[in-house]
Amino acid sequence: MSELPTSWCGQSVERVEDAALLTGRGRFIDDLGVRPGTLHAAILRSPHAHAKIVAIRADAARALPGVAAVILAEDVTALPASLVVGVKAPIECWPIATDRVRYVGEPVAVVVAASRYIAEDALDLIEVDYQTLPAVVDPLAALDGTQPILHDGLRSNLASERRFRYGDPERAFAEATHRIAVTIKYPRNSCTPMETYGLIAEYDAGEDAYDVTANFMGPFSLHAVMARALKVPGNRFRLRTPPDSGGSFGVKQGVFPYIVLMGIAARVAGRPVKWVEDRLEHLAASVSATNRVTTLRAAVDADGRVRALDWNQIEDVGAHIRAPEPATLYRMHGNLGGAYDIRNIAVRNRVVLTNKAPTGLNRGFGGPQVYYALERLMQRIAVILKLDPADVIRRNLVPSGAFPYRTATGAIYDSGDYPLAFEKALTDGGYAALRQRQAEARAQGRLYGIGMTAAIEPSVSNMGYITTVLTPEERRKAGPKNGAQATATIALDPVGSVSVHVSSVPQGQGHRTVLSQIVADALGLKPSDVRVVAELDTGRDAWSIASGNYSSRFAAAVGGAAHLAAEKIKAKLAKIAAAQLNVPPEEIEFAGGRARARGNPDNNVAFGRLAATSHWSPGLVPEENQALRETVFWSPPQLTPPSENDEINSSLCHGFIFDFCGVEIDRVTGALRIDKYVTMHDCGRILHPGMVEGQITGGFAHAVGAALYEEYSYGPDGSFQTGTFADYLVPTTMEVPTPVILHIETPSPFTPLGTKGVGEGNCMSTPVCLANAAADALGASDIDLPLTPAKLAALFHPAEAAPPATVRPQPVKTGKGRALQGQGQAQANAAPADVWRMLLDPKTLEAIIPGCHGVEKLSDTHFRADVTLGVGPVTGRYRADIKLSDLDEPKAVTLSGTVTGALGDAKGAGHITLTPTDTGGALLAYEYDAEIGGKVASIGGRLLDGAAKIVIRQFFEALARHTGGPARTGLFARLFGRGA
């Protein structure tokens, strides 16, 4: 037999996952069959950011053929408990709105029916009366004391506050030559996996047990939260994951409230329930990164050396503190000094509640927010002290040879050589040439900037870091939380082939391939000899609270556990082989599919035959050495709970990243073009270079999106404005350049394979690197994401000139929802008095209002109408409630009122004037001013203005036609009609 490579790890082998995925044979959640009789769920969601639920009428929905049940809040609150909240505060968090809705998209009712189509039909039949409340949107305003309070148990919207002090920051600030600060507002964004949430839930009344299959990604600490919410012990809540999952990036952690909700729906309906989230639901109401307002101050020496940092972070977690929040705020706590040797750090952390969707895991988790502040600060230090930003970074890096390095806030940086990686990146990445390129561009008058970032990429989260939000006393009461159990199981079957199971729950990262490499290396096999199963079943498989696919834990923790399990079974096999080959066990080596005596390869036994021994001839093997199946649990001892002084080693591994880039900003449009991007990584030992590269290019693309385009946008009234991929702009091939990727490898001494995590780093480093470049190009000191052309252009274009006096000023807005304004004219062939009569006649109105089903006259000045309106692809039925005022018969009238429907609502007013014409007709002039909320504001925003103009013009044209006036029906007239 020919010799095989000594190590499969380190090679970019083809992925075992790919053949099925490339041929359409993947098994994603919506591809799995369901039991006969399974019902399909659809969720009615709040159109309001903040409102009291006054009444819900669901009888018509229940009566619709095919509908099995409508689940309302009382069904949910009657059965289980609230989801556990991670801070000590009197807050409940239910998977459905109870007394009030607190964000657009919050579930209000669930319909389960024979098909999803019928379930959605039934949603349209549910009527909810809301009493809207003022919304709290801005996190700073949430703290000002004048805003409504979201949760009755709280006295304000501040849900948690903690202060920390490490070293002697006060003294460092007092002694420093410079005190330099930045304030940043990190926006909301999300990595939006291409596959949305999906699940199939079943309830067994006989055993009082739930069985749910969901594309949940962990952490499985949430299993305990879900079981507790369903009020069953963990062994009666069986959670399984499908074989394939279409990306997650943290986001699929957020399916867990729906697992509880649909578990309850299955219990109420008495049948299995399947639910697949749609994209609007996902964008509006799954999870996102937190938005955060940070003021970061530094005490700086004359040469740019940072002596102390003072962090003031205000974290906006949305309407509920949903587990595991406020983890985003604490994940980086051990790393608040970044890649720098800074011994004095003060921190003030506040968590606020606002009328936005609850936040959760999202690639980079806490890193983008921290590094945006820290690295903007480093750039500002360079600008203010007139230094090259590379020199500021160089002077502050943790020095070579300092590892393991204990940070001021308690992290242990396991390994690295930051100065080496940094200098190598500058040299190999061509920093000097880029400076030259910038000088040439600037000589031509172009806006060209260079940015850079150093960052620590933490991986393998300490399950105890979240408890840093509690005071030491609260932690003592709650009991210590720490560690990060990883597990792997290796089984040998009766023909001696090797199976591996892990609880890593991959969503496309190729875990099965890498594990086959790791185990093949340990056992002297080929990867194709090892079959790996990575779907998880909590009722059957080994798992623990840290299981799942987050905090980049796979290569370090799960790969390490698989290696340890393979070594454990190998040691047993060596003893069995030793007996068969008559040599001591330590003389046995595994290579080329055989176990052999070291130095005498002819004395060997085939691996398959050896591995089958404990099945066929257990009598020949001592009981303690049976080699059938080994499960290893591994938790690194370095992950201890927070200390009495609040020091926390928040992660096991700490990779190093140094990025620099050149960008050019278009002088006219403000559009930013990435000219060159260099990213240096030290992620320890690399197991599969192709996959590491894919993690970096993928993370980089997410970061480009976050930096330049993506933001979950909310109106001042809390309306959600980015509910489609045409509004929430995910970058494509046209926007994502190919970065230059560089590596050094310093293996981690804390992990079995020397590996560290990789994949989240660029989400932390790249947004601020691009922002630093943009700031450099424009000479800007304050710059926030996303770096849209409009935002950048505003930094260098002079203010717009005032409009010429002939242009009619627009009505002044009070400013709440998405605003619609317009005006227009129409000619009627009837005298103003006749037109006036028609305007007040329900029969005429019914005939001329576009899409009108009926008009009811409640009084002389109060009308109610039922209309169908279409905005782009979204057509829905609305109820209009219109009151007339300022009647000046037959010259002028003001209409004001509301329009409500399943797709949204509008509030507004219009003013109509009638002027007699020379020919005996009337000129109708109108202007309107409205605010739109709900689903239609989320998905049709860009179309609303046009649609409203068309509908309103149609109304007046129909009125004109009704009077025999000129009806503009030609295409040109319809498109370019006067006014409007």
Site for other proteins in 939-968 (CB under 8 A): 939
For other proteins, which residue of 3, 22, 146, 401 counts as binding (CB under 8 A)? Answer: 22
Residue 55: CB minimum distance to other proteins, A: 30
Least distance to other proteins, CB of residue 899, Å: 23
Q: How far is the CB of 107 from other proteins (least distance, A)?
A: 19
Interaction of residue 736 with other proteins, rule CB under 8 A: yes
Contacts 24+ apart (CB under 8 A), 911-915: 911/886, 912/839, 914/832, 914/835, 914/836, 914/890, 915/832, 915/891
Near other proteins by CB under 8 A, which window of 188-196, 334-342, 607-615, 883-891?
Answer: 188-196
Phi, psi of 727, rounded to the nearest 5 degrees: -105, -40
Binding residue (CB under 8 A) for other proteins from 2, 6, 23, 969? 23
CB-based contacts of 423: which residues, under 8 Å, 6+ apart?
none
Judged by CB under 8 A, the stretch of 8-16, 385-393, 886-894, 925-933 that binds other proteins is 8-16
Sign, Cα dihedral of 695, 696, 697, 701: positive
Closest approach, Cβ 874 to other proteins, in A, equals 10
The tokens describing 15, both together, are: 């992925």
Placement of tokens 């009806």 in the chain: 967
Q: How many helices (H) and strands (E) does the chain have?
A: 26, 35
Integer Cα distance of 117 and 114 in angstroms: 8
CB of 307 vs other proteins, minimal distance in Å: 38
The minimum distance between CB 759 and other proteins, in angstroms, equals 10
Pick from 693, 745, 834, 846 the residue near other proteins by CB under 8 A.
693
Could you tell me which stretch among 405-413, 688-696, 929-937, 955-963 binds other proteins (CB under 8 A)? Answer: 688-696
Q: Tell which positions 510-549 bind other proteins, by CB under 8 A.
A: 510
Pairing state between β 291-300 and 412-413 = unpaired
Which CB, 12 or 625, lies closer to other proteins? Answer: 12
Is the Cα dihedral 16, 17, 18, 22 positive or negative? positive
Determine contact, residues 657/757, Cβ cutoff 8 Å: no
819 CB-near residues (< 8 Å, 6+ apart): 813, 929, 930, 931, 932
Which listed range, 131-139, 564-572, 727-735, 962-970, lies at the site for other proteins (CB under 8 A)?
727-735
Cα angle value 371/293/795 (rounded, 5°):
80
691 binds other proteins (CB under 8 A): yes
Bond into 786 cis (ω within 30): yes
505 binds other proteins, rule: CB under 8 A? no
Query: Taking the complex as a whole, how short is the minimal distance between the CB of residue 569 and other proteins, in angstroms?
Result: 30
- Total residues contacting other proteins by CB under 8 A comes to 55
Binding mask 117-146 for other proteins (x = CB under 8 A): x-----------------------------
Of the residues 181, 204, 427, 725, which one makes contact with other proteins according to CB under 8 A: 725
Output the smallest distance, CB 252 to other proteins, in A: 11
Compute the least distance from the CB of residue 46 to other proteins, in Å.
Answer: 21
Residue type, 748: S
Question: Which stretch, 134-142, 383-391, 402-410, 730-738, contacts other proteins (CB under 8 A)?
Answer: 730-738
| Per-residue mark of binding to other proteins, 237-256 (x: CB under 8 A) | -------xxxx-x-------
CB of 21 to other proteins, least distance (A): 3
**Residue 461 CB, nearest distance to other proteins (Å)?**
22
Which residues on neighbouring strands pair with residue 533, listed in sequence order?
A: 501
92 binds other proteins (CB under 8 A): no
- R_g of the chain, CA atoms, integer Å: 32
The tokens for 702 are: 């997410």
**Hey, what amino acid is at 133?**
L
Q: Angle between the 221-229 and 256-269 helix axes, to the nearest 10 degrees?
A: 30
Could you count the other beta carbons within 10 Å of the beta carbon of residue 146? 7
- Of 190-198, 380-388, 560-568, 908-916, the window that binds other proteins (rule: CB under 8 A) is 190-198
Confirm or reject binding of residue 65 to other proteins (CB under 8 A).
no
Measured from the CB atom, the residue of 263 and 559 that comes closer to other proteins is 559
Rounded Cα distance between 253 and 238, Å, is: 17
Answer yes or no whether residue 659 interacts with other proteins by CB under 8 A.
no
CA nearest neighbour of 44 among 285, 368, 375: 285
Cβ nearer to other proteins, comparing 445 with 873 = 873
752 sits near other proteins (criterion: CB under 8 A): no
Query: Is 25 a binder of other proteins (CB under 8 A)?
Result: yes
Asked if residue 31 binds other proteins (CB under 8 A), the reply is: yes
Q: In terms of C-beta density within 10 A (0-12 exposed, 13-18 middle, 19 or more buried), how is residue 402 classed?
A: middle
203, 365, 371, 700: residue in contact with other proteins (rule CB under 8 A): 700
| Nearest distance from C-beta of residue 247 to other proteins, angstroms | 4
Regarding 507 and contact with other proteins (CB under 8 A), the answer is yes
Which position among 19, 181, 790, 973 is part of the footprint of other proteins (CB under 8 A)? 19
Cβ pair 286, 254 in contact under 8 A: yes
Strands 209-214 and 237-240 turn out to be parallel
Two tokens, residue 80:
């289980």
Question: x/- string (CB under 8 A) for other proteins, residues 828-867?
Answer: ----------------------------------------
Contact stretch for other proteins (CB under 8 A) within 185-193, 650-658, 860-868, 886-894: 185-193
Site string for other proteins, 458-497 (x = CB under 8 A): ----------------------------------------
Interface with other proteins by CB under 8 A: which range of 16-24, 54-62, 88-96, 657-665?
A: 16-24
249 token code pair: 């990036």
The reply on whether position 192 binds other proteins by CB under 8 A is yes
Q: Which of 191, 352, 565, 893 binds other proteins (CB under 8 A)?
A: 191
Q: Between 694 and 904, whose beta carbon lies closer to other proteins?
A: 694
Residue 405 and residue 411: Cα distance in Å, rounded? 8
For the bound state, the minimum distance from the C-beta of residue 738 to other proteins, rounded and expressed in Å, comes to 5
Q: Note whether 39 binds other proteins by CB under 8 A.
A: no
**Residue 69 Cβ, how far from other proteins at the closest point, in Å?**
22
* Segment interacting with other proteins (CB under 8 A) among 135-143, 475-483, 495-503, 693-701: 693-701
Q: Does 814 bind other proteins (CB under 8 A)?
A: no
Torsion sign, CA atoms 536, 539, 541, 547? positive
Angstrom distance (rounded) from CA 792 to CA 786: 10
Read off φ and ψ for residue 258, nearest 5 degrees. -75, -30
Task: Report H helices in 385-459.
Answer: 389-396, 418-429, 431-443
Q: Where are the beta strands (DSSP E) in 220-305?
A: 237-240, 273-276, 291-300
Residues numbered 255 to 294 that lie near other proteins (CB under 8 A) are: 278-279
Compute the distance between CA of residue 103 and CA of residue 319 in angstroms, rounded to an integer. 6
Eight-state DSSP code of residue 967: -
d(CA 611, CA 595): 10
Calculate helix-pair angle for 418-429, 389-396, nearest 10 degrees.
160
Q: By C-beta, is 6 or 732 nearer to other proteins?
A: 732
| CA dist list (Å): 190 to 187, 504, 508, 541, 710 | 10, 22, 18, 31, 8
Q: Which residues would be at the binding site for other proteins (CB under 8 A)?
A: 12, 14-15, 17-19, 21-26, 28, 30-31, 117, 191-196, 244-247, 249, 278-279, 507-510, 690-691, 693-694, 696-702, 724-726, 730, 732-734, 736, 738, 873, 939
